[in-house]
Amino acid sequence: MIWFYRLLYLPGLLITLPYYVLRMWRRGGYRKSFQHRFGRFHKLPAVADGTTRIWLQAVSVGEVLAIRPLIDALQKEPGIEIVLTTTTSTGYAEARKRYADTVLAIGIFPLDFWLFSRAAWRRIRPSAVILTEGELWPEHLHQARKRKVPAYLVNARVSDRSFRRYQRVPTLARRMLKKFRTIYAASELDRTRLIELGCPVERILMSGNIKFDVPIANGLSDCETQGLRRELGFGDAQPFILLGSSTWPGEEAALLEAQQAAIGQGIDCRLLLVPRHAERATELVQWLQGQGLPWHQRSTGPSPNGGLSILLADTTGELATLTQVADLAFVGKSLEPNEGGQTPIEAAGLGVPILIGPNMSNFKDVSKSLIQAGAAERVSDANELKAAVLRLAGDAPARERMRAAGLAWHRSNRGSSQRISEQILASLGKQTF
User: Which domains are delineated in the chain?
Assistant: 43-209+415-427 (3.40.50.2000), 222-412 (3.40.50.2000)
Buried b (16+ CB within 10 A) or exposed e, 75-90: bebeebbbbbbbbbbb
pLDDT tier, 10 (very low <50, low <70, confident <90, very high otherwise)? confident
Residue 399 CB-density burial (10 A; 0-12 exposed, 13-18 middle, 19+ buried) = middle
pLDDT tier, 15 (very low <50, low <70, confident <90, very high otherwise)? confident
Would you state the pLDDT for residue 190?
94
- Count CB neighbours of 101 within 10 A: 5
pLDDT in tens, 136-163: 999 999 999 999 999 999 999 998 889 9
Total residues found in the chain within this entry: 433
Please check the confidence at residue 179 and state whether its pLDDT lies above 50: yes
Element (H, E) at 154: strand 151-156
Would you state the pLDDT for residue 117?
95
- Beta strands 269-275; 240-247: pairing state: parallel
Largest CA distance in the chain: 70
Packed helices 251-264 and 281-289: angle between N→C axes, nearest 10 degrees? 40
Mean pLDDT of the chain: 91
8-state DSSP, 179: T
Please check the confidence at residue 29 and state whether its pLDDT lies above 60: no
Identity of the residue numbered 119: A
Rounded distance between C-alpha atoms, residue 233 and residue 244, angstroms: 17
- Count CB neighbours of 16 within 10 A: 10
CA 258 to chain centre: 26
In percent, the amount of the chain with pLDDT more than 90 equals 75
Rounded distance between C-alpha atoms, residue 324 and residue 222, angstroms: 10
pLDDT tier, 13 (very low <50, low <70, confident <90, very high otherwise)? low
pLDDT tier, 18 (very low <50, low <70, confident <90, very high otherwise)? low
Mean pLDDT of the region 203-213: 93
CA dist list (Å): 12 to 4, 9, 86, 198? 12, 5, 21, 25
Rounded distance between C-alpha atoms, residue 409 and residue 401, angstroms: 12
Rounded distance between C-alpha atoms, residue 87 and residue 109, angstroms: 5
Rounded distance between C-alpha atoms, residue 356 and residue 165, angstroms: 25
Would you state the pLDDT for residue 316?
79
CB contact at 8 A, 141 and 66: no
Rounded distance between C-alpha atoms, residue 407 and residue 350, angstroms: 7
Q: What pTM did the predictor assign?
A: 0.84
pLDDT in tens, 261-289: 999 999 999 999 999 988 899 999 999 99
Please check the confidence at residue 52 and state whether its pLDDT lies above 70: yes
Of 365, 56, 59, the C-alpha closest to 191 is 365
Would you state the pLDDT for residue 214?
86
Of 9-13, 37-41, 105-109, 238-242, which gets the smallest average pLDDT? 9-13
Would you state the pLDDT for residue 433?
43
pLDDT in tens, 296-352: 999 998 888 777 899 999 987 889 999 999 999 999 999 999 999 999 999 999 999
Would you state the pLDDT for residue 431?
54
Report residue 24: phi and psi, to 5°: -65, -40
Rounded distance between C-alpha atoms, residue 83 and residue 78, angstroms: 15
CB contact at 8 A, 85 and 108: yes
Report residue 206: phi and psi, to 5°: -90, 100
CB contact at 8 A, 246 and 363: no
pLDDT tier, 219 (very low <50, low <70, confident <90, very high otherwise)? confident
- Beta strands 240-247; 151-156: pairing state: unpaired
pLDDT tier, 218 (very low <50, low <70, confident <90, very high otherwise)? low
Strand ranges across the sheet with 328-331: 295-297, 310-312, 269-275, 240-247, 328-331, 354-356, 376-378
